[in-house]
């Protein structure tokens, strides 16, 4: 079994990332949104490669010492192999190197797999945003993690 390789997202990754995005989310980002994101100095977008293809990706927007995690998705054929956790840990490490100490995200209330993953790596529930998501309308659970200075 080939190991995963995590790296910063490049333009050549965006077509595969967009395909995973389209297959994962009911209101997916456009290809152009990812292109803009990877060219913005206040963002951090990464991909996991496995078997020569994009197995998953994650990204965040930085504001001072906070990072809002915007996208996390794993190609269905690579799920339940630890790729989501690896992406999150790498994203947190690189974010922390850029001065981020607090990470924040929203997740669908019904997305037990993602919520369990985030809880497993130390995210705490802060609250809820009523009817935050569309297609279908659903509450968002707000979660955060603080990384202490080393």
Lookup: tokens for 149: 């200075």
Options 45, 118, 123, 133, the catalytic residue: 118
Q: Is the peptide bond before 87 cis (omega within 30 degrees of 0)?
A: no
List strand residue ranges (DSSP E) for 1-147, in order: 5-8, 43-50, 53-63, 66-74, 102-108, 124-133, 138-146
Strand order of the β-sheet with 138-146 is 5-8, 43-50, 53-63, 66-74, 102-108, 138-146, 124-133
Lookup: tokens for 146: 């603080």
- For the question of residue 133 being annotated catalytic, the response is no
How many other CB atoms are there within 10 angstroms of residue 20's CB atom? 22
Options 106, 109, 123, 133, the catalytic residue: 106
CA pair distance 80, 113, nearest whole angstrom: 10
- For the question of residue 78 being annotated catalytic, the response is no
Active site residues: 106, 118
């Amino acid at each position: 079994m080939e190991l995963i390789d995590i790296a910063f997202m490049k333009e050549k990754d965006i077509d595969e990332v967009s395909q995973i995005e389209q297959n994962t989310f009911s209101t997916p980002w456009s290809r152009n949104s990812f292109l803009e994101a990877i060219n913005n100095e206040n963002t951090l977008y990464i991909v996991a490669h496995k078997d020569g293809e994009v197995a998953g990706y994650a990204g965040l927007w930085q504001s001072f010492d906070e990072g809002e995690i915007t996208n996390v998705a794993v190609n269905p054929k690579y799920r339940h192999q630890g790729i989501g956790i690896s992406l999150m840990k790498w994203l947190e490490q690189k974010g922390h190197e850029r001065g981020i100490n607090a990470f924040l995200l929203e997740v669908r209330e019904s997305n037990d797999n993602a919520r369990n993953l985030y809880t497993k790596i130390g995210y705490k529930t802060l609250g809820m945003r009523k009817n935050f998501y569309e297609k279908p309308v659903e509450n968002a659970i707000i979660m955060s993690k603080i990384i202490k200075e080393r």
